[in-house]
């Protein structure tokens, strides 16, 4: 059997033999076309991407900007011992280093925000592709997939708007950041920059605000709560939405467990712990002082630098003395209020249309402590006790607290919804407190203390409550200073040659004051006859002071007052010799420092030094001294003003058992009460009165009203053992004394304290 020759004998094979070349050609053409199409698509894609990169990169910031980047940070104020007393900020942020963030916090942030942070180079492509697919299929804008580095680039340089172009720019910046910075640097930048709600930026500031501790001291559950906030600070706020914050915190804890960063036991224990916040209150123990510093800083450096530049301001204030000054003023006002009996006139919030469960006093945002004076809301009035609340604390007011009011039952003086004034005596762990019922009739007080040697302002109280009134009565209130001004009359007389033992006649006298008859009288309506200048000043006799002023001239008296630092205008009339001029506590107190300073006028200062965040000194203030009066005059005035304490209107200050001197001041109708006094090391001034010029009440003199506050403060100021042996410099005797005058002075000076015969 003969087989066909190849494919010629088989028609089908002939057909195949004929068609095969055609399929090969077609296949090759198809592959070529597909390949060309793919290349064209890839080229178009790459071209488009290149174009997009060019377009989106034109407006990108240079990465060098990040190397010089300094975020807005808190300007902090420190007292003379380095304790924080206040701060200014638009963004609450505290910059720290990588090592200041504990491992538990770093793990919590990475496990929640960017698990591959340590491995990627700025972009997690799998997350990007996933997010892009979701965006395309859902038709929504670009979202999600951001690494820590991408979030950092967005927060630093880009807008928060969500669109594709921003996402591209975000990714490009992230890659640049990864090229120029280490992972530790990137994490530190991110952790200092991220917003955590409530005006807080960065995890250090977040730890301080939410838990009142440093980030390095955070526990697992606290770190997890903070790590959960960057996604949506408003939605997961532990302040406004504690339930959401708890769920979010536990999710972060689960992430840590899944990543093997914590054990199951640690996770279980942390999740069972409730959210416990310890919100850091924006509170300053010296608000009037801090405000004065702010004004100075803004005038010199500008508002932006003060509120965003992270300045470090080292002030003159002593926090311990500031607290002593505040307590002294508040206790003195309370004593004044009690002397004048219960006035009533309580505000009732229900009558004003408010609800008791919603009511909030500004003071309640400040930390309560024993010794604080606050307003409290009456929640219930029973037969024997009334229940009041002060923020998170409650207290009872009963018969013992009412005793001074001359009422026995709470319902006699208060009702539901009344706002009463109380002093916090003790705070208990169960949220209850022990208080005393006080009264706020509107009387105000101010105190200023200055270090004699340096001019440092050590304490400043500008009023009863900064929350209720920002008006600083230590620096802004112009009031008649009463007989405390006599110190400058006697200074002028001594510098003109008068001596403490010179004699002067205290008798009824009518003076010609610029063409107007003027007949001053003494407080006790009596006249002492011939007395020494020492006794005249000690007992604050008015006629001798006016006689001295007339003899040397009011223009000369005004000149000496200005040499000592008085800058307010002093009317050229004889009543000014008795304090009819309007001055403020600041200038009056500062002027008195000339006497213990041996005649030197040292300008008061609030600030010792200001540095920027890196520590570069921007301002340094050194004591500025100039001669005001001679040393002989200053030392003579010290002895004269010591007589006020030893024998005169300020005799109560002898109880300090310390060398002190000063001068009381009382104005007509008891509208203002003053005491300005000093030791060898510190000078302090106290003023008491109403903002409107109305009487404090009968016998509310400088010695009776202001002096006790001064004594209370000085007791703390002189407690330093190093001051126990301090003494005033001895007088300079460069002239002969009249022996007869000395003997007369010894007889004339009684050892008992006189009243306060000084109102003119």
Length of the chain: 760
What single string gives the DSSP state of each residue in 490-514?
A: HHHHHHTT--TT-EEEE----EEET
Residue 611 lies in a domain: no
* pLDDT score at 266: 96
Q: How many CA atoms lie within 13 A of 274 on its CB side?
A: 4
Range of the domain at 367: 341-440
* pLDDT score at 137: 52
* pLDDT score at 634: 97
Residues 484 and 406 in one domain: no
Q: Is 587 a catalytic residue?
A: no
Domain boundary among 237, 272, 307: 272
Q: Choose among 118, 431, 459: nearest CA to 261.
A: 118
Residue 734 lies in a domain: yes
pLDDT at 749 exceeding the cut of 50: no
* pLDDT score at 339: 96
| Residue range 359-393, pLDDT digits in tens | 999 888 888 899 999 999 999 999 899 999 999 99
Q: How many CA atoms lie within 13 A of 710 on its CB side?
A: 36
Q: Choose among 589, 560, 563, 539: nearest CA to 488.
A: 560
* pLDDT score at 459: 98
Residues 397 and 489 in one domain: no
Cβ neighbours of residue 499 under 8 Å, at least 6 residues apart?
533, 636, 735, 737, 741
How far is residue 577's CA from residue 489's CA, in Å, rounded to a whole number? 6
pLDDT at 166 exceeding the cut of 70: no
pLDDT at 407 exceeding the cut of 90: yes
Whether the CB-CB separation of 168 and 54 falls below 8 Å is answered with: no
What is the distance of C-alpha 757 from the center of its chain? 41
> 3-class SS at 598?
coil
Q: Is 483 a catalytic residue?
A: yes
Residues 739 and 661 in one domain: yes
Catalytic residue among 483, 484, 513, 679: 483
What single string gives the DSSP state of each residue in 526-571?
A: ---EEEEHHHHHHTT-HHHHHHHHHHH-HHHHHHHHHHTT--S---
> 3-class SS at 627?
strand
* pLDDT score at 135: 53
Whether the CB-CB separation of 560 and 543 falls below 8 Å is answered with: no
What Cα–Cα distance (Å) separates residue 251 from each residue in 21, 172, 228, 272?
Answer: 66, 31, 8, 13
Q: If you average pLDDT over each of 84-98, 207-221, 725-739, which comes out highest? A: 207-221
Q: Choose among 371, 321, 369, 329: nearest CA to 79.
A: 321
* pLDDT score at 46: 56
* pLDDT score at 2: 45
pLDDT at 276 exceeding the cut of 80: yes
Where do we find the tokens 């942030």?
109
pLDDT at 587 exceeding the cut of 50: yes
Which uninterrupted H or E stretch holds 232?
Answer: none
> 3-class SS at 154?
helix
**Of 737 and 92, which is predicted with more confidence?**
92
| Residue range 51-90, pLDDT digits in tens | 545 444 445 556 656 666 677 889 999 999 999 999 998 8
How far is residue 210's CA from residue 229's CA, in Å, rounded to a whole number? 12
Average pLDDT, whole number, for the chain? 87
Residue 119 lies in a domain: yes
Task: Tell me what the mean pLDDT of segment 135-149 comes to.
Answer: 58
What tokens appear for 403 in the block?
């005793």
Residues 423 and 454 in one domain: no
Cβ neighbours of residue 676 under 8 Å, at least 6 residues apart?
484, 487, 588, 589, 592, 662, 663, 665, 683, 684, 685, 686
- Range of weakest confidence among 159-168, 701-710, 734-743: 734-743
Residue 355 lies in a domain: yes
Domain boundary among 272, 293, 326: 272
Name the percent of the chain lying above pLDDT 70. Answer: 83
Whether the CB-CB separation of 544 and 504 falls below 8 Å is answered with: yes
Confidence of residue 632 (pLDDT cuts 50, 70, 90): very high
Residues 219 and 154 in one domain: yes
How far is residue 89's CA from residue 306's CA, in Å, rounded to a whole number? 8
How far is residue 716's CA from residue 645's CA, in Å, rounded to a whole number? 18
What burial class does residue 339 get, using C-beta atoms within 10 Å of its C-beta: 0-12 exposed, 13-18 middle, 19+ buried? Answer: middle
Count of structural domains, the chain: 3
The CATH number that applies at residue 633 is: 3.40.710.10
Confidence of residue 6 (pLDDT cuts 50, 70, 90): very low
Task: Tell me what the mean pLDDT of segment 17-42 comes to.
Answer: 63
Residues 352 and 255 in one domain: no
Confidence of residue 28 (pLDDT cuts 50, 70, 90): low
Q: How far apart are the first and last CA of the chain?
A: 157
Q: Choose among 51, 201, 174, 34: nearest CA to 114.
A: 174
What tokens appear for 44 in the block?
């178009």
Whether the CB-CB separation of 587 and 625 falls below 8 Å is answered with: no
* pLDDT score at 174: 79
Residues 592 and 732 in one domain: yes
| Residue range 533-559, pLDDT digits in tens | 999 999 999 999 999 999 999 999 999
* pLDDT score at 146: 79
- Global pTM value: 0.82
Residue 156 lies in a domain: yes
Residues 579 and 658 in one domain: yes
138 forms bridges with which residues in the sheet?
A: none
The CATH number that applies at residue 134 is: 1.10.3810.10
Catalytic residue among 80, 111, 113, 146: 113
Task: Tell me what the mean pLDDT of segment 286-302 comes to.
Answer: 96
How far is residue 553's CA from residue 576's CA, in Å, rounded to a whole number? 11
**Of 17 and 83, which is predicted with more confidence?**
83
Domain boundary among 218, 237, 272: 272
Q: Which value, in Å, is the radius of gyration of the alpha carbons in the chain? A: 39
Confidence of residue 179 (pLDDT cuts 50, 70, 90): confident
pLDDT at 321 exceeding the cut of 50: yes
Q: How many CA atoms lie within 13 A of 13 on its CB side?
A: 7
Q: Choose among 686, 644, 689: nearest CA to 669.
A: 689
Residue 23 lies in a domain: no
**Of 122 and 15, which is predicted with more confidence?**
122
Whether the CB-CB separation of 473 and 446 falls below 8 Å is answered with: yes
What single string gives the DSSP state of each residue in 414-464?
A: --TTEEEEEEEEEE-TTSBEEEEEE---S-EEEEEEEETTT-BEEEEE-SS
Residue 550 lies in a domain: yes
The CATH number that applies at residue 403 is: 2.40.50.140
Residues 264 and 374 in one domain: no
| Residue range 444-488, pLDDT digits in tens | 999 999 999 999 999 999 999 998 999 999 999 999 999 999 999
Q: Choose among 464, 493, 489, 585: nearest CA to 542.
A: 489
Residues 490 and 598 in one domain: yes
* pLDDT score at 38: 74
How far is residue 454's CA from residue 80's CA, in Å, rounded to a whole number? 12
Residues 588 and 507 in one domain: yes
Confidence of residue 522 (pLDDT cuts 50, 70, 90): confident
How far is residue 114's CA from residue 151's CA, in Å, rounded to a whole number? 10
Residues 262 and 361 in one domain: no
* pLDDT score at 613: 85
Residue 29 lies in a domain: no
* pLDDT score at 88: 92
């Amino acid at each position: 059997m003969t087989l066909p020759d190849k494919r010629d004998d088989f028609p089908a094979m002939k057909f195949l033999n004929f068609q095969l070349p055609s399929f090969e050609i077609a296949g090759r053409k198809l592959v070529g076309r597909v390949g060309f199409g793919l290349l064209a698509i890839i080229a178009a894609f790459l071209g488009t991407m290149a174009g997009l990169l060019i377009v989106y990169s034109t407006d990108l910031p240079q990465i060098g900007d990040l190397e010089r980047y300094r975020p807005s940070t808190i300007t902090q104020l420190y007292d003379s011992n380095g304790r924080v007393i206040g701060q200014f900020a638009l963004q609450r942020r505290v910059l720290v280093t990588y090592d200041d963030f504990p491992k538990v916090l770093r793990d919590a942030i990475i496990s929640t925000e960017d698990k591959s942070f340590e491995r990627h180079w700025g972009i997690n492509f799998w997350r990007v592709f996933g997010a892009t697919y979701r965006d395309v299929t859902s038709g929504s804008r670009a979202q999600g997939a951001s690494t820590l580095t991408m979030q950092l680039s967005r927060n630093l340089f880009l807008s928060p708007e969500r669109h594709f172009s921003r996402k591209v720019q975000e990714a490009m910046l992230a890659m640049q950041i990864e090229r120029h910075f280490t992972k530790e640097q990137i994490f530190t930048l991110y952790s200092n920059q991220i917003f955590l709600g409530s005006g807080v930026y960065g995890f250090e500031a977040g730890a301080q605000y939410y838990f009142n501790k440093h980030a390095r001291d955070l526990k697992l559950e606290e770190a997890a709560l903070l790590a959960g906030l960057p996604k949506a600070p408003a939605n997961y706020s532990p302040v406004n939405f504690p339930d959401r914050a708890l769920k979010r915190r536990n999710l972060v804890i689960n992430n840590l467990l899944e990543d093997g960063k914590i054990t199951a036991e640690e996770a279980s224990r942390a999740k069972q712990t409730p959210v416990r916040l310890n919100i850091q209150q924006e509170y300053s123990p010296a608000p009037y002082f801090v405000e004065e510093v702010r004004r100075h800083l803004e005038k010199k450096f500008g508002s932006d630098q003060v509120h965003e530049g992270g300045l470090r301001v080292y002030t003159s204030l002593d926090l311990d003395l500031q607290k002593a000054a505040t307590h002294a003023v508040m206790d003195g006002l309370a004593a004044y209020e009690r002397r004048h009996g219960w006035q009533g006139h309580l505000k009732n919030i229900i009558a004003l249309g408010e609800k008791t469960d919603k009511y909030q006093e500004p003071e309640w945002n400040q930390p309560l402590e024993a010794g604080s004076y606050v307003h409290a809301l009456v929640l219930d009035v029973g037969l024997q006790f009334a229940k009041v609340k002060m923020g998170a604390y409650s207290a009872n007011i009963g018969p013992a607290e009412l005793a001074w009011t001359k009422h026995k039952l709470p319902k006699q003086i208060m009702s539901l919804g009344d706002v009463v004034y109380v002093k916090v005596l003790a705070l208990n762990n169960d949220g209850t407190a022990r208080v005393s019922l006080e009264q706020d009739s509107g009387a105000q007080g101010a105190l200023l203390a200055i270090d004699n040697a340096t001019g440092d302002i050590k304490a400043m109280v500008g009023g009863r409550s900064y929350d209720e009134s920002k008006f600083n009565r230590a620096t802004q209130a112009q009031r008649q200073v009463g007989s405390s001004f006599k110190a400058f009359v006697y200074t002028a007389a001594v510098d003109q040659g008068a001596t403490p033992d010179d004699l002067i006649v205290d008798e009824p006298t009518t003076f010609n004051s610029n063409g107007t008859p003027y007949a001053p009288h003494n407080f006790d309506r009596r006249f002492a006859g011939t007395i020494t200048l020492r006794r005249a000043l000690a007992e604050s006799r008015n006629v001798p002071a006016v006689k001295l002023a007339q003899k040397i001239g009011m223009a000369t008296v005004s000149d000496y007052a200005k040499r000592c630092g008085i800058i307010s205008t002093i009317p050229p009339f004889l009543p000014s010799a008795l304090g009819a001029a309007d001055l403020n506590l600041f200038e009056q107190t500062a002027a008195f420092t000339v006497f213990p300073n041996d005649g030197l006028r040292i300008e008061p200062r609030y600030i010792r030094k200001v540095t920027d965040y890196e520590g570069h000194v921007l301002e340094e203030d050194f004591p500025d001294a100039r001669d005001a009066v001679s040393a002989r005059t200053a030392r003579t005035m010290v002895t004269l003003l010591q007589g006020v304490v030893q024998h005169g209107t300020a005799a109560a200050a002898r109880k300090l058992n310390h060398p002190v001197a000063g001068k009381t001041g009382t104005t007509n109708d008891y509208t203002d009460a003053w005491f300005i006094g000093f030791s060898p090391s510190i000078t302090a001034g106290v003023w008491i009165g109403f903002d409107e010029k109305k009487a404090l009440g009968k016998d509310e003199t400088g010695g009776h009203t202001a002096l006790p506050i001064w004594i209370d403060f000085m007791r703390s100021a002189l407690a330093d053992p190093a001051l126990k042996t301090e003494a005033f410099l001895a007088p300079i005797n460069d002239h002969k004394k009249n022996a007869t005058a000395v003997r007369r002075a010894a007889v004339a000076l009684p050892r008992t304290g006189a009243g306060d015969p000084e109102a003119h």
